[in-house]
Amino acid sequence: MSQGKPVPIQSLAELNELFKSTTYVAIDFYADWCGPCKAIAPPLERLAEKHSLPGLFAVAKVNVDHARDVARHYNISAMPTFLFFKEGRQVGVHGSPYIQGANLPALEAAVEKLGKLAAQKQMQAASL
């Protein structure tokens, strides 16, 4: 995983590998033809650059037309949809199990929260 860049996911196997190696994961389910997906991509990239920490927090991107098994597994029916995970288990952030649509304030709040949790975990590990 390259730090700061969203991780492209092509299959459930790739996603499971990311879950094994990374504590917190935010996933963007998108489609190339989706206008709101294109609009939110640059801000999401900036959030990934700011908050990604190797082994602790990653932003992943799943193209629903190319990784249909992943989209089907999570019952994705609208794009963009954002899901959040801790240790491979889906978690809610700020009381919501997911974000649907290009809701930048909600996405920023969720990614920043996970990024802060990852940074705290990094600091705790460094102080041991």
Over residues 119-127, the mean pLDDT reads 88
pLDDT the model gives residue 3: 57
42 is in which domain, residue-wise?
Answer: 7-126
CATH of residue 118's domain is: 3.40.30.10
Half-sphere exposure (CA, 13 Å, Cβ side) for 85? 22
34 labelled catalytic: yes
Residue 2 has pLDDT above 80, yes or no: no
Q: Answer yes or no: is 106 within a domain.
A: yes
Q: Answer yes or no: is 2 within a domain.
A: no
Active-site pick, 7, 18, 25, 34: 34
Q: Answer yes or no: is 51 within a domain.
A: yes
25 labelled catalytic: no
Active-site pick, 37, 67, 79, 114: 37
Q: How far apart are CA 24 and CA 38, in angstroms?
A: 24
